[in-house]
Structure 1
C-alpha cells in the first residue's frame, strides 16, 4: 500500500504566531505616536529657526548701524569745528594732536584731513593698537612723514617717509565728485605684520565763507566685523558673512580670512571662492537662485542643501544713507536645531525596542507553557539530525502527542538501521574524496607556481625588451661610430700625408688644381680635419658616458633591495644634470664639490634613491638660478654658485649624504612645510609640490631613514639624508622596538 505524500507547506513557528501580534500592536502604537511627535517638533523647530535667524540678523544690522555711524559722526564733528574756527587747519601739529585725542575715544582706525593746498595731517592705528601720526605738505617728493608718538600724543621720531598726494586718494576725490559725505571704496594695505582692510568716510570741509578747504577722512577697520560675527556663536557649524553686491567678501564668522595673501600682495576674495566650504557653497547657491546678488531686494528665507545636509539660510540687505549697500547672509545647519528632536527620536526608538522585548518575553512564557512537549520532540529530532540516533520520546497524558511519540520512535529505529548501512558506504566514498582532494590541491599548487613563473617571466621579458631596445637604438650606433672613428682618423692621416707628399713632388700644380685648392682652403682643411675627428671622438665618449649614467640612474625595474654604490648614483645624477650645471652666457658654471668618504655598498632601492638625489639637486639649481636673476655676471664670478656633496659613515651602521648649496636659503615658515604634499613656492606650471614629499616618503618609509632640511636665509640650504647600510638589520631593530613598547 502506497501512502500519498502530503504537499510541503511553508509553516510558521508557533512561538512566532503567539509573539508577533503582541509585538506588532505595541510597536505600531509607539511608532505612530513617535512619528506625530517628530513632525510636530520639526514644525516647531522650523518656526524657532526662522525667529532665531531673524533676531541674529537684526543684531548684525544693529551692530552695522552703530559701528559704521561713528566715522560720519566724527567727520561731522571735525567739519563743524573747522567751519566755526575752533580748529586752525594751518596749525597741523595742533590739529594732529586733537585727532590723537579723538582716537582714544572712538573705535576708528584713522582720523585725518586733506586740504586743497595739498597739505594734511592724520592720526592712525594701522596695527589696531598703536597710534601714529601722518603729516604731509605740498612738496613734490618725500612730503609724507609718519611719526611715532608718546603717551601724550607728542611726536618722538620719524618712522617712514614717502611721496604723497591727497588729490589721488578716494576719500578725497569721492566727496569732491559727489558734493556730499560718502564712503570710499573698500581698500587694502599690507603693512608690516598687519593687513589693513578698511573703508573711509569722507566729508567736505568749508570755512566760514563756504569755501572748500579740503576733506575730512575717517577710516574704519572692516576686519573687526569678522571678530563681531565670531562672537555671535549662533551655531558651531553655522556661518554668518557680509558681502558687497558684487559678491566680494567683507567679513565672516569662520576662521578663514576674507582675503588671500600671495607674495605680499593682498587680494580680497569673492564669497564663491572662499576657502570656507560653507560660505563658498551658500554664496554659489544664493547667486544662482537670484541670478546675481544685485537682484536681492528684501529679506529672504531659504532652505539649501550643502553636501546633502539641509541648511537654513537668511539673506538680509543692509544699506545706509552714505552709499553702502551690503548683504548679510546667515546659514545654520538644520541639525543644530534638530539635535533635541533627534535625541527624543532615539529615545522613542529605544522605547520601541523595550516594548518589543517585553512583548517577546511574555510571548515566550506563554508559548513555552503550550509547546513544551513539542519542544522535547524537537530536541530529539535535532539530536538525530546532529548524528545521535539513540533517541526516544517518552509518552505523557496528551493523546495526540502519544501518537506522535510512537511514530517518532519507530522512525528512529529505521533511521539507525539505515544509518549503519550508510556509514559503510560513506567510508568508501570518503577515501575516494580524500584522494581526489589531494590531487586537486597538488594541481592547484602547481598551477599557482606556474602562474607566478609566467608573470615573473613576463615582467623580466618586458624589462629585457626595453633594455635591449635602448642598447640597440642608442648603444650600438654610438659604439659603431666610436669604433670606426679610429679607422677614419688613420685613413684621414694617410690621405693628408699622401697630399703633403704629392705637394712636395709637384710643387707647381696646374692652374685648375691650384684654383680648387684655394676654393676649398686646402691648408685650413688639412689643419682642421684632424681636430674635428678628435672632437667627434670626444663627443661619442660623452654619449657613451651619458647612456651609462642613464642606465645606472634609472634602475626603476629593480623592485628588490640590493647593495648599491651610492657614489655611482650621485655621479650618474650629476651627469644627467650636466646641461644645467655648465656655464651659460648669463652665468658661470655651477661648481660641484665632491667630498666622498670611503663607503661600503648600501642596501637600498637604487632607482628611488636616485630620484631623491635628482629632486634635491634640481631644487638647488632652480633656487640659485632664480637668485641669479638679480645679479650681474661679474658678481657671480666673484662668488660663483656652488653645490657641495659630502658622504660619510655615522655610528658604523648608517650612511649620511649631505647636499648643500650657497643659494638664497629657505625662510623658516617655508622650511617647516618643505616636505608637505602639494606645497611649492614656484609659479604655476613650474612645480607640483610633490617632489620633496615623495623624497621624504622614499627615505623615511622605504629606507627607514631620515631626511632633514637645514637652511639659513642668505647663506644657503643643506639637505641631510641618513639611511642604514643594511636594511634588514634596521627592519629587525624597528620590529624589536615595537615589541618592547608593546
Structure 2
C-alpha cells in the first residue's frame, strides 16, 4: 500500500469535500436552471399557441358569420337586379369590423363583387355582355362605378372557392383550399357558401376572401420570445403563415405560384427543425392529433416546441407550431450559476482557511509523536521533547503522556537488550571455536555456505514478491479497462507455476486454454515448422492471452531458458470469474473490439467458415460476445 502522509492527507480531506460541494452546487444550479427554463418555455409556448388559436379562430369565424347573415333571404331573382346587388355588397363592406370584400358567381359564369385592388375597393363584374372578360371599375365614395381600371379573362366557375362548394355532398358553409387570388396573386382562402333552388340545384356561390398576410402580420407582431418563432401549417406540410420574413410562396412563372413546404423553409435552422419535428411524428403531419410540448435539438441548440392542431366546423384543419430556443434563456441560467459560484467560492475560501488551521492544530502533535517514535527506534529518545504536547487537555495530550511513559520503558528495555546481545555474541564466538575443534562438527566454510544459500533463497523470495502483478496485468490491452477490484478477482482465480530450464511451456498448434505472465525467469518463442526463432521474453512480459479469451490454437512454441515462475490463468478460472462478474466479460469484449485489427490478422484461426467471417465483418463486437459466450458458458446478451 502506498504511503500517505497525514500532514498532506488531512488538508486534502478537508479541502476536497468543500471544493466538491461548490462544484456540485454549480452543477445542480445549472441543471435546475435548465429545468426551470424548460417549465417556463412550456408555459410561454402554451400561452403563445393559445393566443394564436384564439386569434385564428376569431379572424376566421367573422367572415363565415358575415357571409351567412348576408345571404339569408336572397333568392335567384334578387341576383338579377345588378344595381341593387352592387349597393348591398358595397354597404356590407363598409360596415366597421367586417371583412372588406364579398362577391358571388353563378353557374352561367356571371360574377359580381366588391374586392380590394391595388389598395382601393373596386367593383369587379362579369356577365353575358362582357364574357369571357371580367371588368374592374374604380368606385366613388357612394360605391358607384366610375372608370374602368382593368379587364381580363376570368371564369368564376374555375376558381377553387366555387369548385369547393360544387363538390360538397351536403350544402354547407365551407373554406376553400389555399390558392392564389386572381386579381392580386396573393395567397389566401375563401369562406364560401352556395344558394340552392327548391329542387336542390345550385344557382349562386357567395364568397369572402381572407388573405394569409392577415395571419402572417399577426404572427409577426406576436411576442413569443426574443428569438422565438411561430408557424401555421397545413396537414400536407405546406406553410400557411409564419412569424418570420420567409416567403410562403415560390414563383413558378406565367403568373403561377407554388407553396413552400415546412421542411423547405429558406432559413436552414427552420427547415432542419421541421424535418426533426416531422420525424417525431413518424413522417406524417396527420399524426398530430393533440397538443404536445417537445424538446428537440437542432444544429447543436435545444429548442422547446409547442404543437397544437387547429380545426373548425367549416373544414379547416391546420397545425400551430411555436418554437423557443433555449439560448433565449441562457443569460438567466448563466447569471444564476455565476451568483452560486461566487457565493460558494467566498464561503469555500473561509471554510478552507478554517479547515487548514484545524488540520495544522491536529497534525503538529502527531508529527511530534512520529518523530519521537523514530527516536525510540534509533535509541535516541528524550522524554522532555514531548512536554509541550503532553500539556494539552485533549485526547492527544493524554496519548502523549502515555507515549512518554512507554518510550521511557522501551528505551530502558533497548539498553538491557543491547547488553544481552553483547553477551550472546561472545557466547556464539566461543561455541564456534569449540565446534571447529570437534571432529565431524560444522566448519566455518560450511556455516558460510549455509548463510550464502539462505541469502540466495531470501533474494529469490524478494524478487518474486517484488513483482507487481496487478500492474503487469493492467498492461495487457484486453485487461486495461478493468478496475482494481476486477483485476484482483482475476488474480485470485489464477495460480503460480514454476518450470525448470529448457522445459516446454506449450507447442504450436496445441489447443490454447491459458494465459501466462512471467514473474521470474526467461522464455524463448520459436516456430518449429520453419525452425525460426521469434523472440525472447523476460520477467514482466506475457503471452497466450488470445488463446485464453477466444480459444485460438497456439501459433508458436514456448520454452523456458532458465528456471522460470509464471502466473497462469486458465479457461476454468476465467469462466468462474466471468459467471460471477459478467461486467468483466463486457470490458474484455469491448477491448477485443478496439483491437479489431489484431483479430483480422488471425481470421483463419478464428473463423470456421465464410459465413462466420461474414458475421465478424458485419458486427465484430457481437461476434466477439458470442465467441466468449460459447467458451465461458453464458449468453452473448449477458455481455451487452
Please give the TM-score of this superposition, normalised by the length of structure 2: 0.50
Q: In the alignment, what sits opposite 1:272? A: 263
- Contact (CA 8 Å) 2:14, 2:356: kept in 1 or not? no
- Once the two structures are TM-superposed, the CA of residue 346 in structure 1 deviates from its matched residue by 2.0
Q: CA deviation at 1:27?
A: 2.7
* 1:288 equivalenced with 2:257 (yes/no): no
What is the CA distance between 1:256 and its match in structure 2? 1.4
Return the match for 1:318 from 294, 310, 313: 310
Match of 2:167, SS? helix
Question: How far apart in 2 are the matches of 1:97 and 1:343?
Answer: 64
Partners of 2:120 and 2:202 in 1: how far apart?
32
Structure 2 residue 47 is the aligned partner of structure 1 residue 58: no
- Which residue pairs with 1:103 in the alignment? 93
Deviation at 1:20, TM superposition (A): 5.2
Measured after TM superposition, the shift of residue 24 of structure 1 is: 3.1
Structure 2 residue ranges without an equivalent (≥5): 363-384, 386-640
| Deviations, residues 101-135 of structure 1 (Å, cap 9, x unaligned) | 322334536310112332221111245x4212111
Comparing 351-360 with 238-247, greater Cα deviation is found at 351-360
1:27 corresponding residue in structure 2: 19
* Residue matched to 2:123: 133
Q: Which residue of 2 aligns with 1:115?
A: 106
Report deviation, 1:46: 2.9
Equivalent in the alignment of 1:256 = 246
Residue of structure 1 equivalent to 2:202: 212
Query: Superposition RMSD on alpha carbons, in Å?
Result: 3.6
Residue of structure 1 in register with 2:155 after alignment: 165
The higher-RCO structure (CA 8 Å, 6+ apart) is: 2
Asked whether the 8 Å contact 2:132–2:153 carries over to 1, the reply is: yes
In structure 1, C-alpha distance between the alignment counterparts of 2:199 and 2:185, rounded to whole Å: 41
Distance in 2, Cα, partners of 1:168 & 1:108? 24
User: For the Cα contact (< 8 Å) 2:125–2:134, is it kept in 1?
Assistant: yes
The structure that has the greater radius of gyration is 2
Matching residue of 2:426: none
Q: Distance in 2 between matches of 1:137 and 1:199?
A: 24
CA contact (8 A) 1:183 1:324 kept: yes
Q: 1:363 to 1:90 in 2, by over 3 A?
A: same
Ranges in structure 1 where 5+ consecutive residues have no aligned partner: 1-8, 371-397, 399-742
Change (3 A) 1:324 1:332: same
1:37-436 aligned at under 5 Å gives the runs 37-83=29-75, 88-104=78-94, 105-106=96-97, 108=99, 110-127=101-118, 129-139=119-129, 141=131, 143-178=133-168, 179-180=170-171, 181-189=173-181, 196-206=186-196, 212-261=202-251, 265-290=256-281, 291-337=283-329, 339-358=331-350
Distance 1:145 1:362, change over 3 A: same
Is the 1:310–1:333 Cα contact (8 Å) retained in structure 2? yes
* Aligned-residue offset at 1:35: 3.8
Tell me if the contact between 1:140 and 1:163 (Cα under 8 Å) persists in the aligned partners.
no
Compute the displacement of 1:360 (Å).
6.8
How many angstroms does 1:344 deviate by? 0.5
CA contact (8 A) 1:111 1:218 kept: yes
Describe the superposition over 1:349-391 as per-residue Cα deviations: whole angstroms up to 9, x where unpaired: 2333434555677799999999xxxxxxxxxxxxxxxxxxxxx
In the TM superposition, residue 213 of structure 1 has moved relative to its aligned partner by 2.5
Q: How far apart in 2 are the matches of 1:132 and 1:277? A: 41
Q: Distance in 2 between matches of 1:270 and 1:257?
A: 11
Conservation of the 8 A alpha-carbon contact between 2:19 and 2:348: yes
Aligned length: 359
Q: Contact conserved, 1:19 with 1:359, CA < 8 A, in 2?
A: no
TM-score of the pair, normalised by structure 1? 0.44
